Structures are given as structure tokens and as C-alpha cells.
Amino acid sequence: MALKESLQPVRPGIPDSIPFWNKYSTRFIYAPAFEFKKFGKVKYYLFTALSFADKKEYSFKSENEYDPLTPIWADIPVGEVFLKVEACDNTGPVGLSGVRKFYKAAPFPGIEIDIKNNGEEELRKLLSYFYNLDFIQRWADTGTPDSNYILYCYPSKNISTVIKGMLLYIKYFPNNRDRALKIAQNAADYLIGISEPESSNLAGWPPTYTGNKLTSKVNNGNIMVSINAQAGNYYLDLYEVTKNEKYLNAAVEIADTYVNTQLPSGTWYVKLKTPSGEPFAPNLAIPISILNFLERLTSEYRFEKYQVVVEKSFQWILNYPVQDYNWEGQFEDAYIQGEYENLAMHDPCNTAIYLLKNSDKDRNFINKAEEIIRFVEDQFVVWSKPLPYWEHRSTSSYLTPSVLEQYQFYVPVDASLSKVVATYSLAYQVTKNPIYFAKKKVLHAALLKNQAEDGSIPTGWWDYSSQLWINCLVYDAIVLDYITFGGKIYDTIY
């Protein structure tokens, strides 16, 4: 089934109609279609693919220079491929339409995995490990971040993560509620205290960067727009536990600034300067996490004033990334790049989850979501035999199956895998297609298998990775809580 499925291209481009999203793509599970030069009056185009794996050529003739490689895709073995497309008349080739080198990636093997437990033990071990980290416990004792944990240089992401991690911990370890809640509240209070003041055009937004470590060194004074939705969502979670209006007010202030900074098109600039709110670059945010946060305020808290913002942002998503597949990576530790240069998997997964969650409103959302899911698998899921190198580094140590994060950091990351697990899980619930259940099961098993005895799950699944990103670790916990114990699906859209 998976091999047959791989013959169908993902959102294939058509000149002057559908953009070719794969200009910078280097690997494909599904038969790709490329944008090549069109010649005038020619009889046909000859596609010739040389496989580096078996040293054989595979060819076919087609009417258009942009047709997918479906006729030969099943025959080409996994490995590097050099493709040449020539325009031909009755005498043979008359011009070179284009060439492309890429890696044919391994499709889903269809292996049956027997998971002997539901993941509760692993989830409890993970949360216990997180709770007992020295730089987490410090919050209870001092109310300030531990400078020894370098990734607190990204406060909005990682300090807000402390809040969510502690609230999940309380769910499974209620006997330690008081201290865990103190940690969560101290982290929230600190983050609120360093957020943009009322006089700023970005009032209430926590800083994306602080200090001079990593990319904070060159980005202080800039704020990544989408990440604030995570902080806002976690403030709401804390409010629901404590009933302290301070946290609800902090979430509302973040939301109000989203209202004030939304562009007429329906989205936001991806990064803004403080305190002016001027754009850092012309790149636009994919606002799915913002939409998710504001919709929660609208549906659960009856803040109707955000409804128009929600509708405009959703329409922008439908009109742009769902159509053109420019799923641009938008990470605080990555460089902003041009169109299609740095595609990533989190926002397409988030969008697919949102579409599936709302498929009762429009059944066409299911088809859109399923094609997006195929795109994510095509570009980021490694079932086996990874691309042999990235940035001149060998990939021989990559754990598989796994999920790559973004073109700019094309390596396996635990939270990327967890995001795909959540996506496949919901896809199966909505469609009942057994392929989603099978794929979810294999990746879920990989997540559990790669947990260390102390409860930690490594962030990078390769032998030269050492830094623990707590946002990734807590996201693993969020997904395990969702698929095992019915945690809230909106928690996975971050």
C-alpha cells in the first residue's frame, strides 16, 4: 500500500497555475514533479534518471517537462538520483530542459509494531525527570532562571515551557502539587515581569531573546510573533488551575496586541522590533498557533472581539500556505530566508491538525489535511536509510524512524517526531484510514524506545547532539498525554 501511495506526487506544480514548492528540496518519498524549461514545438520530453544505488538508468517519455516521475518511481531504488530532462523531436534530443540531483527516500515499510504498554510509565518518568532538573527546581527557590541553562536565552519559548511542564506534572503527581505549582507560578510571574510594558506597541509580549548567548546575541530587541501564542496558552492553563486573574489578564494582553498588529491581509510579520512594532523583515508568519490561541479565548472564554481576527487569519492560511505550500520555517534560532528556501514541518502539521479538528464544518478540509500530511512525510519523515549527509556531516548515526525539523536544520528532533505522532493519531480518528494508525504506531514506538532510563528523551537523535531543549521534552509529554489519556488537541498546535 505504501509503495503504491508513493507513486502519487505531493501538490505537483503546474506552470502559471500551481507553484513548484520543491525548488530547494533534496529528498522525496513520493514521486516528485519539477519546474524545468519549456521548449516550443517538440514531440516529447525524455526523462532519464540515473540511480547511484544500482548504476542503472530509468527513463520515460512524456508530453510535459513538468510531469511527475510516477512512471519510473517504483523501479528506482532508495538512494541518490541524477535526473535529466531533454526536449525531443523526431530525430531525438534538441535541448536540455533541466537537471536535478536528489535523494529517493525510503517509503513506509509497513512493519507491524507491538507496543506492550500505553506509554503511561514513560510519560511519568519523563515528567519526573523534568521536575527534578536543577534548573527547574531553582524556580521554586529563587523565582529566577538558572543562568547555567543556556536556553533560557529564549524566554518566551522556554520559560513558558516551565509553566506547562509543571501543570502536566501535577496531573500525574498530585502529591507534589504545591511545589510544582510554585515553580509554574514563579516562572509565569518572572516572564510577565520582563514582558513588553504598556507603553510599547507590543505590550504584554514576552521577549523572544535575552542576553548574549546563541542567536539572542544578535537578536535582542526583536520578537518572533507566533511564539507568544504559546505563552498566552500556558497562562490560560495556569489561570484554570489557580483562578488567579493575573494570568488571564496576561493572556488577554498578548491577544490584544495580536489584534493591534494584525495586517490587513490577515497575518502578521514573522518578526517585529521592540518597542515600535516595525517589521524586522518582510517575511510573513504562518499564524496557525496564533489562530489556535485566539480561538480558545473566543470559544472557552467568550472573548468575541477576537472572532474577526481568527476568521481573517484562517482565511489567510487557506489562501496562501495551503495553496502555495510555502511552509516557511519560523524558528527563533534560525535565519529568516527566502521563499521555499527553508521549509519546515511544524506549521503544516499544526494546520493539518486544525483542519481535521474542524472537518465537521467542511469535509473538504480532510482532503487538504491529508495532502499536507503527505508533504510532511515526503520531506521530513525518515523511515530508514536517511539522506547520506547534511551540511557535510554523515547521517549514519541518525536514529530511525525519526522526523527532520527544517531544511536549515535537517536533522531528527524528538518534538518533530511527536508532532507527526499527534498528526497521524488525529488523522486516523477522523478518516479511519489504517495507514495513519500504522504510521503513528511505528513513530510512537520509536519515541518510547529512545527514552533513557532516567526518563529523558534526547532532543537531537544523532551522536553529535547534547543540548536538551526543554520545550521539545515537554512537547513529547503533551503528545503522550494526548494520545494516551485524551489530553486536549489544541495543546499540540505549538
Q: Helix, strand, or coil here: 123?
A: helix
| Residue at 183 is within a domain | yes
Using CA of residue 403, residue 494, residue 221, residue 307, what is the dihedral sign? positive
User: Residue 370's CB: how many other CB atoms inside 10 A?
Assistant: 18
Q: Is the pLDDT of residue 464 over 70?
A: no
Question: What local confidence, expressed as pLDDT, does residue 489 receive?
Answer: 74
Section 351-359 average pLDDT:
97
Q: Are residues 168 and 74 both part of a single domain?
A: no
| Residue at 114 is within a domain | no
Q: Are residues 231 and 175 both part of a single domain?
A: yes
Q: Are residues 264 and 361 both part of a single domain?
A: yes
Section 371-391 average pLDDT:
94
Q: Report the C-alpha gap between 245 and 213 in whole angstroms.
A: 34
Q: Report the C-alpha gap between 119 and 449 in whole angstroms.
A: 10
User: Residue 278's CB: how many other CB atoms inside 10 A?
Assistant: 10
Q: Report the C-alpha gap between 95 and 288 in whole angstroms.
A: 44
- What is the DSSP secondary structure assignment for residue 19, as one 8-state letter? -
| Residue at 111 is within a domain | no
Instruction: Write down the H helix ranges in 326-392.
Output: 346-357, 364-380
Q: Is the pLDDT of residue 492 over 90?
A: no
Q: Are residues 62 and 142 both part of a single domain?
A: no
Query: Model confidence over 159-197: pLDDT tens digits?
Result: 999 999 999 999 999 999 999 999 999 999 999 999 999
**Higher per-residue pLDDT: 3 or 344:** 344
What integer best gives the mean pLDDT of the chain?
Answer: 95
User: Residue 41's CB: how many other CB atoms inside 10 A?
Assistant: 7
Q: Is the pLDDT of residue 390 over 80?
A: no
| Residue at 113 is within a domain | no
* Crossing angle of the two packed helices 470-485 and 155-172, in degrees rounded to 10: 40
Query: Model confidence over 124-142: pLDDT tens digits?
Result: 999 999 999 999 999 999 9
Question: What local confidence, expressed as pLDDT, does residue 494 receive?
Answer: 77
Question: What local confidence, expressed as pLDDT, does residue 273 receive?
Answer: 94
Q: Are residues 93 and 174 both part of a single domain?
A: no
DSSP 379-401: HHEESSS--SEETTEE-TT--SS
Q: Is the pLDDT of residue 205 over 90?
A: yes
Q: Report the C-alpha gap between 436 and 432 in whole angstroms.
A: 8
Section 49-77 average pLDDT:
98
Using CA of residue 204, residue 206, residue 212, residue 218, what is the dihedral sign? negative
What's the number of domains the chain is made of? 2
| Residue at 300 is within a domain | yes
Q: Is the pLDDT of residue 389 over 90?
A: no
User: Residue 196's CB: how many other CB atoms inside 10 A?
Assistant: 21
pLDDT band at 209 (very low <50, low <70, confident <90, very high): very high
Q: Is the pLDDT of residue 117 over 80?
A: no
Residue type, 456: S
Contact predicate 163/234, CB 8 Å: yes
Residue with cell 519560523: 330
Query: Which is nearest to 224 in space by CA: 303, 281, 149?
Result: 281
Q: Domain containing 7: what range?
A: 2-104
DSSP 252-294: HHHHHHHHHH--TTS--BSEEETTT--BSSS-B--THHHHHHH
Q: Is the pLDDT of residue 57 over 90?
A: yes
Report how far apart the first and last C-alpha atoms of the chain are (Å, whole number).
31
Q: Report the C-alpha gap between 287 and 269 in whole angstroms.
A: 10
Instruction: Write down the H helix ranges in 148-226.
Output: 155-172, 177-193, 216-219
Question: What local confidence, expressed as pLDDT, does residue 206 receive?
Answer: 98
Section 435-462 average pLDDT:
95
Here the cell at position 150 is 543556556
Q: Are residues 75 and 149 both part of a single domain?
A: no
Q: Report the C-alpha gap between 196 and 206 in whole angstroms.
A: 6
Domain limit, last residue, from 72, 104, 136: 104
- Decide: residue 9, CB within 10 A, 0-12 exposed, 13-18 middle, 19+ buried: buried
Contact predicate 340/277, CB 8 Å: no
| Residue at 389 is within a domain | yes
The CATH number covering residue 39 comes to: 2.60.40
